[in-house]
Each structure stands twice: as structure tokens, then as C-alpha cells.
Amino acid sequence: MILDTNAVSSLLAGDQSLGDLLAARTRHHLPTIVIGEYRFGLLRSRHRERLGHLFSALIRQSNVLAVDQGTAEVYSQVREELRAKGRPIPENDVWIAALALQHQLSVVSRDDHFDSVRGLTRLGW
């Protein structure tokens, strides 16, 4: 499972329903895109220090997924399919979807626009 940024936020906030969903897996996947988005949010958080420590621990316990040439190929296909359907989604989420498809993983997210990506499974809570 790939954790989207809103899943990371909920997990670190102690959301029990998300914790129950994630309990089935011992390691999760974090895209570098999500790491960047979450760290950007931390810069403005009044809980930056506490959440920063929790986030660093989550990164250590996760498989970090970086974008590579294979991801770029999948990204271009996903973006074109969404454009053709007239259903664009946020740019960073196209990259997250591409990583999920490339690695055959589901995405844990509250963002239902992931449902527009053919072949992608989104797990909500």
C-alpha cells in the first residue's frame, strides 16, 4: 500500500480507523512526492517538531519509492488518459498514481479523484 499525504497526516494524528486499515501490513510505501508534500506542510505547522519526529520514524519504517524512468512512462499514460476523459487530477497525485501502478500497489487516500485512474485501487477510511 502507498500512503498518500492525507493518509500520513491522519496516521500521525492517531486516526484509529486508518490504523485499523493499515494494521494488515507491516511495511508501507511512501513516495518521495508524499515526503515532499508532508515536509512542506510541516514548515507551517505549530506541531512541527513533534510531527517531524513521528514522520522521520514513519519514513524509516516504510519503503520509499522514488520516481524513475519507468514511473515517467506510466505517468505520461495516466495523464493522457485523464486528459482524454476530461478528468484531470492534481499533478502530484498523477505521480503518486503512476508509482502505484508501476509497483502494482493500492493507494491509501481520502481523495476520490484517484478513482478516475484506470487500474488503480484506492483504499479509503
Q: Note the pLDDT tens digit of each residue in 2-43.
A: 999 999 999 999 999 998 889 877 789 999 999 999 999 999
CATH number of the domain to which 89 belongs: 3.40.50.1010
What's the whole-number average pLDDT of the chain?
A: 96
- Classified as helix, coil or strand, 85 is helix
Q: What is the DSSP letter of 4?
A: P
| Stated pTM of the model | 0.94
Total structural domains within the chain: 1
Question: What pLDDT is recorded for position 26?
Answer: 75
How many helices (DSSP H) and strands (DSSP E) are in the chain?
Answer: 6, 5
CA distance 31 to 4: 8
For residue 45, CA distances in Å to 41, 48, 60, 73, 97 come to: 7, 5, 21, 35, 27
Residue range of the domain that includes 18: 2-123
